[in-house]
Chain A
């Protein structure tokens, strides 16, 4: 259950960026994470919901998740290939010497916020 700690950090960073931009509300957070991490989608969503519901600035925000497929490069033959969590050997020359290019990252890509102007526009509609 380290997802709770992860989302806590994500919301801290997101809120800070939103406040710095003069926003009045966080609307959405977009996260990317690789399939090789130990993160579980349901646990992320659950933690996000639990940690946003009591804060008026965060309440109702949505979590967008982009899951990244692992990709490696063979250090012997140079072949680049996508793979699942279990097969990291080169499918072309069977070499075990491969380098993971992506699949273990966890990034906050972007956030969507409501600014005072946007809030006014909505109120006038």
Chain B
């Protein structure tokens, strides 16, 4: 006997993500899901973003890692609330994990939540977390060919941050080829060149985020 189901595979996740999206909207909180490889400078970028925006907005960070709480500690050291999620081996965050993290945050007083997803350019792409936008970081040492190897993550991201541009002279990074790939994969994405650890370019990125936050407030 055949039974028609016609249901999304990620129905459970999508339903929870929708519930979260409504919750965030109700509290006028902008949620950014930040994707990148391990070592691309996610935490440094978040710290630089916090620096640029903390005078205007109340910010919290949700840290997704397979294990440990090194990143959450770095954020908390800056006086910013941070919740660590340990996925225990899972390669991505799912909406119900975000729900548990959000339960311990005070949404009423927050303007911005940054979710640092697990370092991975593949799996997090397919999961809706109820965010307002996904953004991604590629760092110069990873190479200009990454958009051609991991097209999905470059396509779901509204903003693409090219980090560690100060190391460009050392690495053989073909920025022209990189830009051409982005134009092909995601022509409407905003691209920001930054060096998170020295603050270069962070202001333009922060401006983009500021505008997005204002738009939902």
Contacts and interface: CB of A to CB of B under 8 A. Distances in A.
Interface string A1-39: 110011001100110011001010000000101001111
Nearest to B183: A96
Contact of A106 (B6, B9, B187): B9
Contacts of B217: none
A13 B5 contact: yes
A61 interface: no
A17 B7 CA distance: 11
A109 B123 contact: no
A36 B152 contact: yes
Given A1-B123, A2-B92, A2-B123, A88 B5 contact: no
Interface in B76-123: 90-92, 94, 122-123
A13 B11 contact: yes
B188 interface: yes
Contact of B3 (A2, A17, A85, A87): A17
Contact of A110 (B3, B94, B126, B151): B3
Nearest to A23: B1
Contact of A111 (B5, B10, B13, B185): B5
Contacts of A2: 90-92, 122-123, 126-127
Interface residues of B, number: 33
A10 B3 contact: no
Given A6-B10, A85-B151, A86-B151, A14 B186 contact: no
A113 interface: yes
Nearest to A29: B5
B2 interface: yes
Contacts of A105: 8
Contacts of A96: 183, 187-188
A118 interface: yes
A108 interface: yes
B1 A21 contact: yes
Contacts of A108: 5-9
Interface in A101-125: 105-115, 118
Given A1-B123, A37-B126, A38-B122, A88 B7 contact: no
B5 A14 contact: yes
A89 interface: yes
A86 B184 contact: yes
Interface of A: 1-2, 5-6, 9-10, 13-14, 17-18, 21, 23, 31, 33, 36-39, 85-89, 96-97, 105-115, 118
Given A38-B122, A38-B152, A86-B151, 19 more contacts: A2-B123, A5-B94, A9-B11, A17-B3, A31-B9, A85-B152, A86-B148, A86-B184, A87-B184, A89-B187, A97-B188, A107-B6, A107-B7, A107-B8, A108-B6, A108-B9, A109-B6, A110-B4, A110-B5
9 contacts: A9-B9, A10-B9, A21-B3, A23-B1, A37-B126, A87-B184, A88-B186, A110-B2, A113-B1
The 3 closest A-B pairs by CB, nearest first: A96-B187, A2-B123, A106-B9
